[in-house]
Amino acid sequence: MADQLPQSVLFCCDHNAVRSPMAEGLMKKFYGTEVYVQSVGVKNDLEIDGFSIAVCKEMDVELSRHRSRSFDEMEQWGDDLSSFDLVIALSPASQRRALELTRFFHLDVEYWPILDPTGLGETRETKLVQFRAARDQIADRLKDRFGPPTQEDAK
């Protein structure tokens, strides 16, 4: 059953290069400006993955301008973790980090075990299949959690 949309959501994963940027982009496409959405990683040591860009482009979600950032950089840039209504962790490491950082805040942290497609598949096409699976898993979780997309072009 879908819940009411929160005012703000932070998606997090290991590097902010694959799953969390896809979740951020899909959430913005599905629910537009109704929700403030950002994403971060435990670390910022990778650029946005080209396969993530490609499979999201198939759904008219633009990720090529995404710049990866970590929890620490988010704080340095003035984004306060406590200002988010909901943190959705897409990896075990990001769930641990989010829980550690939010232990003093009244803030919900959810864990969505989303497949990490990196390193799966031998050819470009088999890699794309894995990235599409992760993208579709995120899209399904978003719809299950927040209801049908509210933006016309996302329906």
91 assigned to some structural domain: yes
67 assigned to some structural domain: yes
116 assigned to some structural domain: yes
1 assigned to some structural domain: no
Q: How far apart are CA 21 and CA 64, in angstroms?
A: 10
At 154 the pLDDT is 67
Counting the structural domains of the chain, the total is 1
Q: What is the pTM of this model?
A: 0.91
150 assigned to some structural domain: no
Range of the domain at 46: 8-144
For 41-77, write each residue's pLDDT tens digit.
998 877 888 999 999 999 999 999 988 999 888 878 7
CA atoms within a 13 Å half-sphere pointing along the CA-CB vector of 126: 5
* CATH number for the domain that contains residue 33: 3.40.50.2300
Percentage of the chain surpassing pLDDT 70? 95
How sure is the predictor about 3, in pLDDT bands with cuts at 50, 70 and 90? low
For 93-115, write each residue's pLDDT tens digit.
999 999 988 887 778 899 999 98
